[in-house]
């Protein structure tokens, strides 16, 4: 059939990826969807989705979660979206596009957003069974199925962004993963040798094997044609059951070639500054298929968005031009921050480097500085917290010394710059090219007062989300500068901060959430049920003060149960397949052979997966909810108690073997670790707490990466606070040194209770220490020098906690009423959850997660289903 060209002009968009969807939004914003017929031909069996976050599918997100297409938007603007029906040919003379279904569409304007395709090196057997590319959701589904049924080892060809994500995905699927990169380092485009070395150490620590400086020469197969290995350019052979090619992409320009449009020597549809093809003014090309006027094909989403805006503006007869784009990027690869901006590799003549590296923490930071002090660019690996500020200052002379911008807090650096110091022309959201001035204008001119309102108004923070924190800071600063009182309340239910609510609960001995809400909640919240923000926060406050204010210390008692986060509801961590983990406390990592035997027998009898953690204890995974009381009955009988892995509370106090066994040890670190863990077990706090005790300065327990860490000296103990070894590493700061046992415990008591008293909800000690006015010096004044005169009260609160501690699982298994909650179905308590299943792996088991089956469907069915969702 032919869709006839009538009085209404027609825009045909070929391709419906992220850039294609942004083009549609740009058309709508300019009113073009009301004056034009808009037809979209989408090759994939689903509308536009977030390809940047593709790997998050393996961490639990569904294809629906990744969708970027609001079907109400499609319907409201009358856009004709054809799913699974790509364009097959273009007749430029007749201005017609023929789709795979046979439909023919006449056009006034044709926009090609065909994206790119994965580059597969021309090696023998590249199409063998077990070879995949990593580009679409369908690719991920195929990889998941093959890894689940036919592979134990996988090799990824390519050590760039997608290659590392693919390797992480294979590892998450239980496959031993290798990365093969031809360049001498990982991510060769984004980072230098130093950054590559830091990234390599971190990735190898995750259990991934990396092979750099070698290429793939041949895929080895067996008699059936299935992959069994790879031959590498150095003569070695790598045994593998599957191969994932992620060696870069190429512009998808075949449709343009076939219809005679001009393409570049190395691919890409040649366009001018308005994104109009140089061969045909009626045809535009945007995104990864386009060769821009500066001679580059941009493989990032931000330039693609800018091209989409330019094309839409040109169609609307507005002035616009795409003359190049910033290639700065901030990524999170396998949980590791990696960022580069400006002249990251120092190609500018006569430039200097400022470098900070911590190989143990996997942190590398380099700034490229001009002779006049101008910030030219930089690379950040392992800690990219300052990316937004640094990128915004690129091309100017920062108002502080360069070293202050890369040194971590607590390492002697001057005060860090905040976003308020940035000029208005600084780009805050690089994905959508939004400046600080635009964000300020959203607050002052459009009366936006919240991050969601500014995101809706400016599009800032709506793509990768890395700038959202800075958005909040800028909004509050602008409101305060305008004389507007900024609401710093905990949530919509309370106008008080968490710290203020803590003081109210403590001073007035309020021991229920409802009482606090009814007396101190906002007027429109009183008498209500509260929200998901304040309920767990207040629940934590009440739990941490329970003995002092006369509340039950058992978190599932009465009203307290309804306040807890999901994991606390069953005193266990919920896992991805609906089962739970069991984590008994093993203070200091010390356990008797009899204790180990009990744990082994329980894991065997209940078929649990067992793993020794970095916190020196044993995790057991795969327990069904109705099995938890049975398992804990045996553990409690053997002398074990809850490890509180599920709670915002103390997790572990790690230790080395200390002077008892180690020839370097100067103090008994095991004894101290046990004493501290037993003292602070069950202490509810704004965030989880981790600790460690090292028996000498060799620091084998890694105490300086903990919320509070202790290192032995010849004269006693040094106490460090505010460390964090997670996604944003921070070295702990020295609070006091050469302490006796009693002095050490007294200062930790004070420090923890002061943190619990003044921290925001879900705020780690590392973040709290940097946020609290006065920082470490103020904390030292309060807990060491008693400058506020509250240390006696802090010690008393801790003494109350220690005196009234009771193991939650021991309490639970001895109360039939409390046991009643441990069922999968309230109306069928004896029925186990049929969704919870397992499959064998490495002589244990892993979750058996059903694959999401998605087939080709007519466009109207997709539209209808998505609208219902």
Annotated binding residues, written as ranges, equal 656, 662, 696, 700
- Could you give phi then psi for residue 865, rounded to 5 degrees? -65, -40
Q: Could you tell me the two tokens for 525?
A: 């919240």
Burial class for 505, CB neighbours closer than 10 Å (0-12, 13-18, 19+): buried
For residue 536, the surrounding DSSP H or E stretch is helix 534-544
**Alpha-carbon distances of 59 from 55, 62, 65, 168, 170, rounded to whole Å:** 7, 9, 12, 10, 12
Which residues, in sequence order, are CB contacts of 50 under 8 Å at separation 6+?
18, 66, 67, 68
* Cα separation, 126 vs 235, whole angstroms: 18
Query: What tokens does 312 get?
Result: 């839409």
Binding residues for siroheme, as ranges, are: 700
Which is it for the CA torsion 37, 41, 47, 49, positive or negative? negative
Pairwise CA distance, residues 237 & 423, whole Å = 54
DSSP 382: S
**What is the rounded distance in angstroms from the CA atom of residue 384 to the CA atom of residue 331?**
9
Parallel, antiparallel, or unpaired for β 329-333 and 336-342? antiparallel
Residue 602 near residue 810, CB atoms below 8 Å: no
Q: Which two tokens stand for residue 735?
A: 């609070």
**Pairing state between β 216-221 and 227-232:** antiparallel
Phi and psi dihedrals of 671, rounded to 5? -60, -45
Give the DSSP per-residue string, 821-860.
T--S-TT-TTPPPTT--EEEETTEEEE-PPPPP-----HH
- What is the rounded distance in angstroms from the CA atom of residue 731 to the CA atom of residue 412? 12
State the SS3 of 608-661: CEEEECCCCCEEEEEECHHHHHHHHHHHHHCCCCECCCCCCEEEEEEECCHHHC
CA gap 179, 851 in Å, rounded = 25
Residues 666, 716: Cα–Cα separation, whole Å: 9
Find, among 44, 79, 46, 86, the residue nearest to 64 by Cα.
46
**697 close to 714: Cβ distance less than 8 angstroms:** no
Handedness of CA 422, 428, 433, 437 (dihedral sign): negative
Q: What single DSSP character describes residue 165?
A: H
Q: Write out the H or E segment, with its range, that includes residue 753.
A: helix 741-758
In sequence order, which residues have a C-beta less than 8 Å from that of residue 203 and are 6 or more positions away?
164, 167, 179, 186, 210, 334, 336
* Cβ–Cβ < 8 Å for 391, 470: no
Residue 378 pairs in a beta bridge with 341, 367
Helix-helix angle 436-444:468-481, to 10 degrees? 50
**β-pairing verdict for 580-582 and 573-574:** antiparallel
Q: Which letter does DSSP use for residue 255 in this model? A: H
Identify the three-state secondary structure at position 233. coil
Say how many residues make up the chain: 869
Structure tokens at 63: 């294809």
Residues comprising the binding site for [4Fe-4S] cluster?
656, 662, 696, 700
If one counts every other C-beta atom within 10 angstroms of the C-beta of residue 222, the result is: 12
Give the DSSP H/E element, type plus range, for residue 363. Answer: strand 363-370
**How many angstroms separate the Cα of 390 from the Cα of each of 197, 370, 404, 428?**
22, 14, 11, 10
């Amino acid at each position: 059939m032919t869709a006839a060209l009538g009085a209404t002009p027609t825009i045909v968009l070929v391709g419906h990826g992220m850039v294609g969807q942004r083009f549609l939004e740009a058309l709508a914003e300019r009113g073009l969807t009301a004056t034009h017929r808009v037809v979209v031909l989408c090759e994939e069996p689903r509308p536009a989705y977030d390809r940047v976050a593709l790997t998050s599918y393996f961490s639990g997100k569904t294809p629906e979660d990744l969708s970027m297409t609001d079907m109400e938007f499609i319907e409201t603007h009358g856009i004709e979206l054809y799913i699974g029906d790509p364009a097959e040919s273009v007749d430029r003379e007749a201005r017609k596009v023929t789709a795979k279904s046979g439909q023919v569409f006449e056009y006034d304007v044709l926009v090609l957003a065909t994206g790119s395709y994965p580059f597969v090196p021309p090696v023998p057997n590249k199409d063998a069974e077990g070879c995949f590319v990593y580009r679409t959701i369908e690719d991920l589904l195929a990889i998941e199925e093959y890894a689940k049924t036919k592979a134990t080892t996988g090799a990824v060809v390519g050590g760039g962004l997608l290659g590392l994500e693919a390797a992480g995905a294979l590892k998450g699927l239980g496959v031993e993963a290798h990365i093969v990169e031809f360049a001498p380092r990982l991510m060769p485009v984004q980072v230098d040798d130093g950054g590559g070395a830091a990234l390599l150490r971190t990735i190898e620590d995750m259990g991934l094997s990396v092979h750099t400086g070698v290429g793939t020469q041949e895929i080895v197969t067996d008699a059936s044609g299935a992959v069994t290995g790879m031959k590498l350019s150095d003569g070695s052979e790598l045994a593998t059951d599957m191969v994932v090619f992620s060696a870069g992409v190429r512009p998808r320009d075949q449709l343009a070639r076939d219809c005679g449009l001009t393409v570049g020597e190395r691919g890409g549809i040649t366009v001018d500054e308005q994104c109009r093809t140089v061969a045909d003014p009626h045809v535009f090309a945007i995104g990864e298929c386009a060769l821009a006027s500066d001679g580059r094909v941009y493989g990032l989403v931000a330039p693609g968005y800018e091209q989409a805006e330019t094309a839409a503006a040109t169609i609307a007869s507005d002035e616009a031009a795409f003359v190049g784009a910033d290639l700065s990027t901030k990524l999170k690869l396998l949980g590791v921050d990696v960022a580069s901006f400006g002249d990251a590799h120092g190609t500018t003549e006569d430039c200097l480097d400022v470098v900070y590296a911590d190989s143990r923490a996997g942190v590398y930071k380099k700034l490229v500085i001009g002779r006049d002090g101008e910030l030219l660019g930089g690379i950040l690996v392992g800690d990219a917290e300052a990316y937004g500020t640094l990128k915004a200052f690129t091309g100017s002379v920062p108002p502080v010394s360069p070293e202050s911008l890369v040194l971590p807090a607590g390492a002697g650096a001057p005060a860090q710059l905040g976003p308020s110091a940035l000029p208005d022309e600084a780009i805050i959201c690089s994905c959508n090219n939004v400046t600080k001035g635009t964000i300020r204008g959203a607050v002052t001119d459009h009366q936006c007062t919240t991050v969601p309102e500014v995101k809706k108004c400016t599009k800032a923070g709506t793509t990768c989300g890395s700038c959202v924190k800075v958005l909040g800071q800028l909004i509050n600063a602008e409101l305060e500068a305008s004389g507007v009182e900024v609401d710093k309340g905990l949530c919509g239910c309370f106008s008080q901060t968490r710290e203020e609510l803590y003081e109210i609960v403590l001073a007035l001995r309020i021991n229920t959430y409802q009482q606090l809400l009814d007396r101190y909640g906002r007027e429109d919240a009183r008498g209500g049920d509260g929200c998901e923000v304040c309920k767990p926060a207040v629940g934590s406050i009440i739990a941490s003060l329970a003995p002092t204010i006369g509340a039950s210390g058992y978190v599932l008692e009465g009203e307290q149960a309804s306040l807890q986060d999901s994991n606390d509801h069953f005193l266990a961590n919920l896992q991805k397949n609906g089962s739970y983990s069991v984590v008994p406390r093993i203070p200091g990592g010390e356990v008797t052979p009899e204790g180990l035997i009990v744990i082994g027998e329980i894991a065997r009898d209940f078929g649990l997966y067992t793993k020794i953690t970095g916190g020196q204890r044993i995790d057991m995974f795969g327990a069904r909810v109705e099995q938890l009381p049975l398992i804990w009955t045996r553990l409690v009988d053997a002398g074990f108690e809850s490890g509180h892995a599920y709670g915002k509370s103390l997790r572990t106090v790690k230790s080395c073997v200390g002077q008892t066994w180690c020839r370097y040890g100067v103090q008994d670190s095991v004894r101290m670790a046990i004493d501290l863990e037993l003292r602070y077990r069950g202490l509810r706090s704004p965030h989880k707490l981790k600790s460690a005790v090292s028996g000498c300065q060799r620091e084998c327990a890694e105490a300086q990466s903990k919320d509070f860490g202790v290192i032995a000296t010849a004269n006693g103990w040094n106490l460090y606070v505010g460390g964090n070894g997670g996604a944003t590493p921070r070295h702990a700061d020295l609070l006091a040194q050469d302490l006796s046992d009693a002095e050490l415990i007294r200062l930790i008591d004070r420090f923890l209770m002061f943190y619990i008293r003044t921290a925001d909800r879900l705020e780690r000690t590392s973040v709290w220490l940097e946020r609290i006015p006065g920082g470490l010096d103020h904390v030292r004044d309060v807990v060491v020098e008693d400058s506020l005169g509250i240390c006696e009260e802090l010690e008393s609160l801790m003494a109350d906690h220690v005196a009234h501690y009771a193991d939650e699982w021991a309490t639970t298994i001895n109360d039939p009423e409390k046991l009643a909650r441990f069922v999968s179905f309230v109306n069928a308590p004896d029925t186990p959850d049929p969704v919870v299943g397992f499959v064998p792996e490495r002589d244990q088991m892993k979750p058996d997660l059903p694959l999401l089956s998605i087939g080709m469907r007519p466009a109207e069915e997709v539209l209808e289903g998505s609208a219902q969702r």
